[in-house]
Amino acid sequence: MLEPTNNNELPPIPAKRYFTIGEVSDLCAVKPHVLRYWEQEFEQLDPVRRGNRRYYQRDDVLVVRQIRSLLYEHGYTIGGARQCLIDAESGNNNEASGPSKAQIDELIEELEKIKELLVA
């Protein structure tokens, strides 16, 4: 399973069996309509439905945090994040193919900051 990187600022996940969409929204800093959209785009995200309500389990909350990290922090597209989750599930780790564009951009940004410190 992928590890969320900068999700440290998110609140801890309470020890509960089920969470409402509003609770998951608060726990993951993602609006409910975004969660509903992600349910259509990511097969890994499949909350239990009872009547007209959806109930997420702890694993679903972790998946939402992974998706959030991939999209918002690492700059993946929906398709790229979907493929990344599929690869993680199947054990395919694309590290052998080299770093992603987002990782390279992050490194360049870090190096630029270091350069500014050294020049100053």
pTM of the predicted model, to two decimals?
A: 0.70
The CATH code of the domain that includes 52 is 1.10.1660.10
Tally of structural domains, the chain: 1
Residue 75 lies in a domain: yes
Residue 89 lies in a domain: yes
Helix (H, G, I), strand (E, B) or coil at 91: coil
Six-digit token string for 56: 């997420």
d(CA 1, CA 62): 10
- What's the pLDDT band for 113 if we cut at 50, 70, 90? confident
pLDDT (tens digit, 9 = 90+) per residue, 10-60?
899 999 999 999 999 999 999 999 999 999 999 999 999 999 999 999 999
Residue 119 lies in a domain: no
Residue 58 lies in a domain: yes
Query: Domain range for residue 13?
Result: 7-95
Residue 81 lies in a domain: yes
Q: When comparing pLDDT for 85 and 101, which is higher? A: 85
Residue 35 lies in a domain: yes
Residue 55 lies in a domain: yes
Q: How many helices (H) and strands (E) does the chain have?
A: 5, 2
Residue 28 lies in a domain: yes
d(CA 75, CA 22): 25
| 65 and 3 Cβ atoms separated by less than 8 Å | no
Average pLDDT over residues 62-80: 93
